Structure 1
Amino acid sequence: MISIIISSYLPHYFSALENNIAETIGVPYEIIKIDNPGLMGICKAYNMGAEKAKYDYFLFIHEDILFHTDKWGEKLITHLNRPGTGVIGLAGSSYVPVAPSSWTVSEKHNFINILQGNKENAESYLINKVSGNTNPVYAVDGVFLGIKKENFFDFKFDEDINGFHGYDLDFTLRVSKRLQNYVIDNILIQHFSGGNLDKKWLDSNIKIKEKIGSDFQKTIDNTTEKKIFSGFLHKYFEYYPINRKTLLFTLKFYPYKYLDFRQHLFFIKKYFNYIRYASQINRKLKVDL
């Protein structure tokens, strides 16, 4: 009953996951493997897999995971059959800030239930930050994305998003405008990668923010807005030089309506220092200009 779609490029991970799914899922399933050694973006790979899928429930997962829950397929189907449900995930956030950001926003708004490891499988630790069996969120992390087939084809992955960053943020935020996404607490996976927040990641998140905006929640959290915009500035100027053009560009994402006087003053000083020390900062850029 579940079509599992995987964009694969690491055979040893895929083989281990394939055996793990057979031992744990507990319902009829198919695995649709899209061999993808970086030749196409993950959005295209996932959409190709979805077109081949025959079952009514879709699950898009990374191949560097293992399931630690028996009969997790039954649990996923139960969650997806809840009226008005969009995407079911294992990590996500209930807040969408004005500035570009990944799904991770702040301790206050993040919901996670994952056994996090590393590529060397040297150690792992449980991240369990959920408040109930179903936690309403907007953005969902792409390591595990469950959705009904009938809903998926109303949205699909945006193939204009190239590469392997931001696809989950774009997809789940679009879904959340019509349906309710959830992070659940009764399926546990072990994940062997922590992600890579590089320039491609940054550029993808900027593109998505320009496309989707931040008009989601009604209650504004100015502490989170300050944190995210400050983090965005720091990350942006790791890769882009400080000049008039780039400073003005960052102000497109300034949450001016949501900050108090002291927070505005904080950023006035921050911009003053960027301008004052521009030459020194630019010399330390991580990329060639």
Structure 2
Amino acid sequence: MISIVICSISPERLRQVIQNIQGTIGVEYEIIAIDNREKNWPIARVYNEGAYRAQYPYLFFVHEDVKFHSRNWGLVIEEKLKEPNCGVIGFAGTRVMLNCYSGWLQSHHWMCLLLYQGLGEGMTELRAHHAYLERPFEEVVALDGLGMFVRKEVWEEYPFDEVMLTGFHCYDVDFSLQIAASKKYKNYVCCSTKVLIEHFSSGNLNHSWYKDTIRFHKQKWNKILPMRIDGMEISHRDEKKYKERCFYYFVRGILQTNYPERKLMLKEFLFCSCSWKHLGHCITNLYKYIKS
């Protein structure tokens, strides 16, 4: 029994995803679709409102631009959610989150996913990273928000943060991280071929995303991270290397936006504890963005 919460801005997409769910889920469900075209609520508020209304014990927060390619996928998900220590289940996530500005994807070495990803112009590819047939669920610490399952009782302990998250970004990483940080629950990526989903959008790292991501780290998570799944060992040298790399890509991206404090972020990068060799390489590559 799954309550499906959708933040909708497109009646046609909503109609399509509801029709797809009806024909594939295979368990009792309800749809809680909140039209956000006029409300323009932050997505954290939309999801909390939808969860409050839910009558079933399992919640599914999902984008309206998805399509399931498997039948009776609800049975697979419900069976996993019954486990007392199960936290959030998603379709893409990371086994490690370092203390650096970024989204959930900090390195392909730690990424885990199994899904069809839309590439635009009607093209789609099957993406699989650290997904194994013998393990239908792979543990992670943080998840992408294209679709997230969780028991309602777990959400009640750790609802979406409406105070910090006043836009449309970071809600997924924050929600899954706070549940993983509790040490009471484990988060998972669903790698089962019995639950294949397609995501039509690849996301947009715009000015608002950078603004929200900086706030997300500075106001809440920079004192808590890094975090990794149990048994995942990372050397100090590798951690430093990946932090430097993440910061570089973040700064390179933000310099290509109209974010008003992007030069301050560049200054923070130049004064961070990067090796001189790495810093010199980065400045050389960032030069064309710095000039603009």
Q: TM-score range by the shorter chain?
A: 0.7 to 0.9
Q: Which residue of 1 aligns with 2:214?
A: 206
Q: Secondary structure at the match of 1:176?
A: helix
Aligned-partner Cα distance in 2 for 1:41–1:248? 30
Q: Which residue of 2 aligns with 1:197?
A: 205
**CA-atom RMSD in angstroms:** 2.3
Aligned-partner Cα distance in 2 for 1:248–1:47? 37
- Alignment: residue pair count: 271
Q: Secondary structure at the match of 1:124?
A: strand
Structure 1 spans left out of the alignment, 5+ residues: 257-262, 285-289
**What TM-score, normalized to structure 2?**
0.85
- Offset at residue 151 of structure 1 (A): 0.3
- Offset at residue 199 of structure 1 (A): 1.2
8 Å CA contact retained: 2:43, 2:171: yes
8 Å CA contact retained: 1:61, 1:144: yes
Q: Which residue of 2 aligns with 1:113?
A: 114
Structure 2 spans left out of the alignment, 5+ residues: none
Q: Secondary structure at the match of 1:20?
A: helix
Moved more, 84-93 or 128-137: 128-137
Match of 1:136 among 130, 134, 139: 139
Matched, 1:216 2:200: no
Deviations 1:252-282 (A, max 9, x none): 8x4x4xxxxxx6123442576699x6xx745
8 Å CA contact retained: 1:136, 1:181: yes
Q: Quote the sequence identity (%).
A: 33
Q: Secondary structure at the match of 1:238?
A: coil
Q: Which residue of 2 aligns with 1:32?
A: 32
- Offset at residue 248 of structure 1 (A): 4.6
8 Å CA contact retained: 1:97, 1:228: no
Structure 1 residues 22 and 272: CA distance shift in structure 2, 3 A? closer
Q: Which residue of 2 aligns with 1:182?
A: 188
8 Å CA contact retained: 2:58, 2:151: yes
Aligned-partner Cα distance in 1 for 2:289–2:279? 18
8 Å CA contact retained: 1:93, 1:139: yes
Q: Which residue of 1 aligns with 2:15?
A: 15
Q: Which residue of 2 aligns with 1:260?
A: none
Aligned-partner Cα distance in 1 for 2:42–2:216? 15
Deviations 1:37-58 (A, max 9, x none): 1611111111110110000000
Q: Which residue of 1 aligns with 2:148?
A: 145
